[in-house]
Amino acid sequence: MFSSTKLVVFNKSSVRFIQTELPIKPVIDMKYDLHLPKRSVIGKMPYHVEEPIVFVHGLFGSKRNYSQDCAKLANLLQTPIYTVDIRNHGESEHALPFDYETITNDLLHFVKKHNLKTPSLIGYSLGAKVSMLSLLREPSLFKSAMIIDNSPVEQPEIVPFLKVFRKACVETVTKSNISANDKEYRSKASKFMSKYIPNAGIRGYLLNNCLNSKPKYQSPVINYDDGKIHWRNPVLQLSGYSEENVAAWPSVPEGAKFTGPVGFLRGTKSDFVLQKGRDAIQKLFPNNRIYDINATHFILNERPSEYVGMVADWFKFGRHDVEKLSAKKKSQNAQL
């Protein structure tokens, strides 16, 4: 009666089919929040908008994590900022494939569907690679970008790190036996995870996905009626995808590049932007500027005010300086 890939859950109010495998969807409509700038002191003055900005989060992040940061940036820049949830994260659909090409398709679809005119991008970690690939795939679609702690190269060295992340998430929901009715479910989940991830800040980042009730978007592969805590992401079904695919970098056509201004914010205690990454940045994004910040890869959690200020300064001043320098070089070369 039912396929082998489905389970049936009966409860008092409904019958719900739970799949054991994620559906295949080449493109999804990403859920998003729109942060509009507050009006100036003179209420009737219009927004001084240069272009909209789209913020793309990292692995096991969500748009909700950075809502306050993006609200501040919208005001600082007087520009609307869209924060999106990539597939298998936040309120967006759970589906395969989960790779950079597919997530980039989702982002390009989002920009076109919402008729965003030459937007700029802010991408962090996984979202940084998605943003870079989007710039290279359709350079005429975008104006500029700020890339936070990642580079356009393969990074096999981070796979063990990502495996620990996913294992901690999986075992918290499959082995901790924490009840959804337990008022201390979050602190107990944190304690359980500590044997895999000693850093409380990283655990806190991951625990933003820990649920004790049904979310707005109900995953086709998660049984929310079993009385246990759950993860917002389909961590069981993302085995491999959230590791090897996240550490990867797709091949791009020979000669591909984005010549608009791109800022790179690098954590000085992070290994995500090494020399091989700097070389790739220079080749693919020649009009770049790299900034350092005293942080690990978790810049956004460790230095929230500082990174927001640096991102705002890039869009207000830094990118224009890079554009002027690029124009000057072109003029000098033309005279030779």
* pLDDT at residue number 269: 97
Locus of tokens 């997530």: 103
Any idea which residues carry the catalytic annotation? 125, 149, 297
* pLDDT at residue number 9: 53
* pLDDT at residue number 2: 38
Whole-angstrom CA distances from 168 to 99, 158, 173, 193, 195 are 21, 16, 9, 6, 9
* pLDDT at residue number 332: 76
* pLDDT at residue number 8: 54
Q: What is the mean pLDDT of each run of 10 residues along the chain (336 residues)?
A: 48 64 96 88 54 96 96 94 97 97 98 96 98 98 98 96 94 95 96 96 95 92 93 92 94 94 98 97 98 97 96 95 88 72
With 0.75 as the threshold, say if the pTM is over it.
yes
Count other Cβ atoms within 10 Å, centred on residue 97. 16
Residue closest to 103 by CA, chosen among 116, 76, 85, 124: 85
Alpha carbons 126 and 311: distance in angstroms, whole number: 18
Residue ranges of the alpha helices (H) in 114-154?
Answer: 126-137
Domain 32-155+260-335 of CATH type 3.40.50.1820: yes
Extract the tokens encoding 180: 């959804």
* pLDDT at residue number 256: 95
Which distant-in-sequence residues (6+ apart) come within 8 Å of 236 by Cβ?
A: 170, 174, 221
- In the three-class reduction of DSSP (H, G, I as helix; E, B as strand; rest coil), residue 300 is classed as helix
* pLDDT at residue number 336: 64
Phi and psi at residue 192, to the nearest 5°: -65, -40
* pLDDT at residue number 204: 95
